[in-house]
Amino acid sequence: MIKAKKRNLKAIIAIIIVIALILSGIYAYITFSPKKEKPHKAVTTPKIYTTELLTKTYDQLKAEGLLNFLNITDNRISPTENQGLVLEIKRIRHRGLLDLMFKPGTAWKKKPMFYFISEMDGLKYVSKDIESAGGAKAETLFNTWDAIFQESKIMKDVPEEQETSDVILTIMEREKAGLFGFKTKDVEKEKIHLVYDYRTGRWTGDDYFDDSDGYGHYVGDNFEIWFDLYQIDYDMDGIPYWVEVNILHTNPKVDDSKLDPDNDGVPTAWEWRWGYDPLVWDDHKNLDPDIDGIENIEEYKMAKWFADPFRP
């Protein structure tokens, strides 16, 4: 009887020892075995191409979150030059000639008379008003269907580090009035409102990059206007200081209008204006985005004829 009890006790002790060994083994495995780390999800940063930055105003870059992709080393606007804005009227064409030529008679021979009024931050300039050095005043109006090669430039000084300027361009036409047409009146025919951004050199409003009638080209009901807006620039290449320093990383004191660092046959200034990265080679000899049969290299050569690579 006593021997049986001893055997049972030994069996119980053996079972307890086995259980203890198993539990200690499990504990050791949990404690000392290498822990598997959970795989981290790969975080991919979207790639932003320089071309996505070149055609927008500062406010557009900010609104679209694109400023986060820039290493802005200098946020100043015009540290190397007195700040100013130039409105260049390249061509004004009256759109009524074709209609008159298809009508009987010779009304098309009577050329229209018109002029423009520019307002830059409230400063008004009237193109018809001429004042001589002696103070004598006179009027000079455009008297033609097409004022090509009669360019005008209006410049305005602006306070240093001003971010934007409001520009209004109005076309006025002088028409006959009264019962017998002996009187005249000046009638507003077109009005264009623009907001120019001094950081990026772009403008928005009634004309903007990639609109339907082309950048710097406005087609109204009565008149068609080619123009340009640009700021006073130290190196005179037309590319604003802020863009050169923070986007293109070119030298704001070196004229880039003739430089071609990517050797694609088109200089930096032209590529910047039309939204191409001047540091990345483009096949301008074959590129023809507006499919008008004129490749970009030819569009560049025809710039003085108001050629636009994106509009035929």
Work out the pLDDT band at 39, boundaries 50, 70, 90. Answer: low
Q: For residue 1, what pLDDT is reported?
A: 57
Work out the pLDDT band at 229, boundaries 50, 70, 90. Answer: very high
CB 66 within 8 A of CB 52: yes
Is residue 227 domain-resident?
yes
Average pLDDT, the chain: 90
CB 192 within 8 A of CB 221: no
Is residue 25 domain-resident?
no
* DSSP three-state, residue 173: strand
Is residue 138 domain-resident?
yes
* 84/78 Cα distance (integer angstroms): 9
Nearest to 173 by CA among 214, 217, 127: 127
Is residue 147 domain-resident?
yes
Tokens of 15: 């079972």
Model confidence pLDDT, tens digit, residues 248-293: 999 999 999 999 999 999 999 999 999 999 999 999 999 999 999 9
Q: For residue 138, what pLDDT is reported?
A: 80
Percent of the chain with pLDDT over 90: 74
Percent of the chain with pLDDT over 70: 86
CATH number at residue 206: 2.60.40
Is residue 110 domain-resident?
yes
- pTM to 2 decimal places: 0.83
What is the average per-residue pLDDT within 112-121? 98
The DSSP output letter for 245 is I
CB 118 within 8 A of CB 192: no
Nearest to 171 by CA among 221, 205, 230, 216: 221
Q: For residue 2, what pLDDT is reported?
A: 58
Is residue 77 domain-resident?
no
DSSP per position, 31-95: HHSPPPPPPPPPPPPPP--GGGTTTS-HHHHHHTTGGGG---S---S-SSS--EEEEEEEEEEET
Dihedral angle computed from the Cα positions of residues 123, 127, 130 and 131, in that order, rounded to the nearest 10 degrees = 10
Q: For residue 16, what pLDDT is reported?
A: 73
Is residue 279 domain-resident?
no
Q: What is the pairing mode between strands 84-94 and 152-157? A: antiparallel
Residue 109 CA to chain centroid, in angstroms?
A: 41
What is the total count of domains within the chain? 1
* 212/304 Cα distance (integer angstroms): 21
Higher-scoring residue by pLDDT: 43, 72: 72
> 7 pLDDT exceeds 70?
no
What is the average per-residue pLDDT within 75-100? 94
Q: For residue 37, what pLDDT is reported?
A: 57
Higher-scoring residue by pLDDT: 305, 104: 305
Amino acid at 111: K
Range of the domain at 116: 82-232
Is residue 189 domain-resident?
yes
